[in-house]
Structures are given as structure tokens and as C-alpha cells.
Amino acid sequence: MHFLQPTTWDEALEARAGLPDALPVAGGTDVLVDLNFRRRHAPALIDLGRVPGLGEVSAENGWLRIGAAATYDRLMTALRRDFPALAVAARTVGSPQIRHRGTIGGNLGTASPAGDAHPPLLAAGAEVEVASRAGTRRIAIADFFTGPKRTAMAPGELISAVHVPRASGPQQFAKVGTRNAMVIAVCSVALALHPDRRRVGTGIGSAGPVPLAAVEAERFLEGVLDEGGLWEAPRPLGDAVRGRFADLVASAARPVDDVRGTAAYRVHALRVLAGRVLDWAWADYLEAGAGREVGAG
Amino acid sequence: MKLSLTVNGEQRVIDDVDAGESLLTVLRDSLGLTGTKNACEQGECGSCSVYLDDGLVCSCLVLAGQAEGAEVVTVEGLAARGELDPVQEAFAQAGAIQCGFCTPGLVMAVHDLLQRVPDPSDGQIREELAGNLCRCTGYQKVISAVRLAAGRTNGHHGY
């Protein structure tokens, strides 16, 4: 096995092009598990840890650019205001040791249906920036995952960054696990309210072959908020709206029975979590009060 | 391949490191630093926790080659001057040890926690130590040790 340690992004793309079966490694928190248990044999490893600036987080024209090598502990602090759902989700990943090494690019590359970053990225409408020697392209997050541990990336491509609009309203994330920390999600839900464009975004994790958006729940809540003039003059939503939203989130899931939980449990838990994230997000929206930027109806 | 790094303040060079080898196996098998324990090899148990350039990591999840040129501090490095670190003293005083297997990792994790959060609440202690498992289930005394050590730590590595 070869070990390559490119010191520039161009060198990394060159290495990737020359060794299509090589395994890229950033924090190593997924890859090393496979190597330690000999589940994976790659002819070469490409360590991306020496590429300068690959973990930078920057803002431009109302969007954030989150470098692929940004670690969870960095996301927890850097995104608190501009992408709070991901900041919260990052805090639920592993332990301090794992959050210090694991990266958002690695979470996307592994493409586990249980990846904690994925529901917030779906709710926020993120785009994944991938690059090869041929150039750079962006993939909408909803098109990025093509199956369990499979992505829309082409051979020779590396994940360079994630782009996401800066939060214009409340965002929440909730996850069920077998304990309060250090767990892989049994299921998870992210919710983002986007008053600037009068949209609602959702993401469901660990309850389908890929992370999913609950599109019908999004359209339902947008309809309620538009028809009631609630974007401009928010009032409590009431139990009927809460219940319908939670049902639509749960019905968007396509879960299976596995070692972490049954499909029936996941549907139940998603309904509970969806109600909670809506309560929290709407309470935040009510509290923020007047003066917010609401898009044209 | 050849690996060169600083371990507990000492420059070390190791020949014949495999590309897929972890930092943990280099520390234990090549350098004989067996205070760092090998248990789960998947980042669940924290018994292999070491500092890598001042950040706490599971050394089983770091490729040896990723530590090239880095500064690593293991549990052996905490008491390198022959004097126990305040965290180690607190563990002894609180009796926060049963079989002892998880102790080096927990000592490292508590050392790291107190550098970042000098006076943690009980909730913070539990959340921050979630990645270190004690299968004797001696957590209560570990938490007592953290409380004892809080305020006594000097915030520096021992070497």
C-alpha cells in the first residue's frame, strides 16, 4: 500500500487522477476503522491533511463555503449563527476525540445513511463542491447521495467544499440514539425556516437508504405560513398543524429494521422529533419578533 | 516508510512503518509506550487517547503517516519529570481506578477537558468524557476525580 501526502490541492487532484482506486483520508475516523478491521483494501491512501486551507470556513454573497476538511469541533463553534442546525448536529457526533478529527468532507464521502451532517445540509439546501483535474462542479445535496455509502461523484473527483445559504431564520436538529452522546443515530431530523425566501427545509437521517428531505411536510408548512400571513405576523401554530407536519415527516421516511432499531420505531420516533423541532424552531421565530427580513410573497 | 515525530518531547525516527498502520501501533509496538491501550480500534472506547499537536485524538484512528513531524504526548509524558500530573494525583486520591485498563485514556481525556474547560459542570464532565468507556463502570469516582483535579491543573504538559 502506498501513502501519498499531497501538500497542495493540485497535487491532491493529480494523485487522485493517477490512482483512481486510492482511498482519500482526512480525519480518518471512518477510514481507519475499515483499515483496522481489514474490511477495506486500497492500493494507496491519499492523506488530505497537508493541503493548506482545506478546512477553512468563509462567507461570501450571503453564502457560506465550508472547506471539506473542516472538523466537527470547528463546525460547532464557527457555524453557531450562520448554520445552527449543523453546529448542533456536529455536537452530537462521537466524542471530543472524534470531533477533533472527523470532517464534513469525510461525512459526505462515507455517505452513510446515518451521517449526522446530512439532514442539516438537506434542510439548508446545500451544494457539494467536487473537483477533479477537469475542473470543479457543484452537486445539489438532494442529488449527492445515490444509495447507502454511494454518491454521485465521478472517478477522479475529490470533495473540496460545501456551499450553503447563510441562515435567515431558526434551524433545529434532533437525534435519537441509545445514549445521550457517542452514538450513531437511530434516526434524526433537521428543520430550517427560510423567511428570506419563504421556504421550509427538512432533512431526515438514518431512516432510508439515503438521507431524505420530507418534501410534502415542507410544502404543507409553507402553505400554512403563507396563507395565515405567519411569516410576517407569527402566531402559535396549534396542535393540528404540528400533528400534520409531524405525520408528513414520518411518512417521508423509508426505514428498515436493523441492529439499531426497527422501522416501526423509527417512524414513531421521527414523528416525535418532527413535532419537537417544529416547536423549538417556531418558538425561536416568535421570540425573534419584528424586524426580520421576510421575502416577498 | 520512514516516520519522524516528537513523542513526549523526544525526537523519534521509526523505519518500516506500513502505510495503513495507525499511530497507536507505532506508539505501542515500535516505541514500547504501552500506557496507551489498544481495545476497540474503532474510536468507541477512548483507551488509546493521546495528544496530537495539542488536540486529543484516538490514536487508533490516526494514520501513522499523518503524525509525520507532529508532537505527540502520551500518558507517559504527563509525569515525565517524575512527578504525577494533578489529574493523575486526583485519580489516585479519588480511587478512580478499578481494573485500570481505561485509566490512561481517561487521564488524558480529563487532562484535555480541564485545559479547555477549567471548571466543568457535572453535565459537561459526562458529555466530554462520553468517548471513554470504563467497563468496570467506575464512572462515579472518575467524576469525583475530575472535580478534585479542577483548579489544581497547571494547564501544561508534564515533560
Task: State the Cα–Cα distance between residues B29 and B33, nearest whole angstrom.
Answer: 8
Cell of A276: 419537537
Beta bridge pairs of residue A159: A130
SS3 A124: helix
Q: Quick check: is A293 in a domain?
A: no
Mean residue pLDDT of chain A comes to 96
**Would the pLDDT of A50 be above 50?**
yes
Number of domains in chain A: 2
Is residue B157's pLDDT more than 60? no
Same domain, A156 and A179: no
If asked whether residues A208 and A278 sit together in one domain, one would say yes
Looking up residue A33, the CATH number of its domain turns out to be 3.30.465.10
In a domain, A292, yes or no: no
CA torsion angle for A91, A95, A96, A100 (degrees, to 10)?
-80
| pLDDT score of A77 more than 50 | yes
Report yes or no on A82 lying in a domain.
Answer: yes
Residue A297 within any structural domain of the chain: no
Q: Residue A182 has what pLDDT?
A: 85
Both A59 and A129 in a single domain? yes
pTM (2 d.p.): 0.95
CATH of the domain at A259: 3.30.390.50
In terms of domains, do A156 and A177 share one? no
What is the average per-residue pLDDT within A111-119? 97
Amino acid B159: pLDDT:
46
pLDDT band for position B158 (50/70/90)?
Answer: very low
Whether residues A36 and B44 touch (CB distance < 8 A) is answered with no
Task: Please name the residues between 110 and 139 in chain B that touch chain A, using a CB distance below 8 Å.
Answer: 112-113, 126-128, 130-132
Quick one: A145 and A182 in the same domain? no
Does A94 share its domain with A227? Answer: no
Whether residue A228 is found in the same domain as residue A277: yes
Average pLDDT score over residue span B28-35: 98
> Residue A136 — φ and ψ, nearest 5°?
-120, 140
B57 pLDDT above the threshold of 90: yes
Query: Which domains are delineated in chain B?
Result: 3-78 (3.10.20.30), 86-149 (1.10.150.120)
- Are A105 and A205 contained in the same domain? no
Task: Find which of A51, A54, A97, A112 to mutate to test the B interface (most B CBs within 10 Å of its CB).
Answer: A97
Listed residues A134, A165, A196: the one ending a domain: A165
Residues A88 and A185 in one domain: no
Q: How confident is the model at residue A52 (pLDDT cuts 50, 70, 90)?
A: very high
Q: What percent of chain A has pLDDT over 90?
A: 93
The residue from A130, A165, A200 where one domain ends is A165
Do residue A126 and residue A178 come from a single domain?
Answer: no
pLDDT at A291: 59
Place of cell 436493523: A258
A19 part of contact set with chain B, CB < 8 Å: no
Residue A107 sits in the same domain as residue A180: no
ipTM confidence: 0.94
A272-289 pLDDT tens trace:
999 999 999 999 999 998
Structure confidence at residue B151 (pLDDT): 72
The answer to whether residues A153 and A6 belong to one domain is yes
* Dist CA B114 CA B107 (whole Å): 11
Domain boundary among A165, A194, A226: A165
Q: In chain A, which residues have their Cβ closer than 8 Å to the Cβ of B5?
A: none
Q: Are B97 and B116 contacting, i.e. CB atoms less than 8 angstroms apart? A: no
Q: Say how far apart CA A218 and CA A235 lie, in whole Å.
A: 18
* Domain extent at residue A176: 171-287
A290 confidence band (pLDDT: 50, 70, 90): low
Measured in residues, chain A has a length of 297
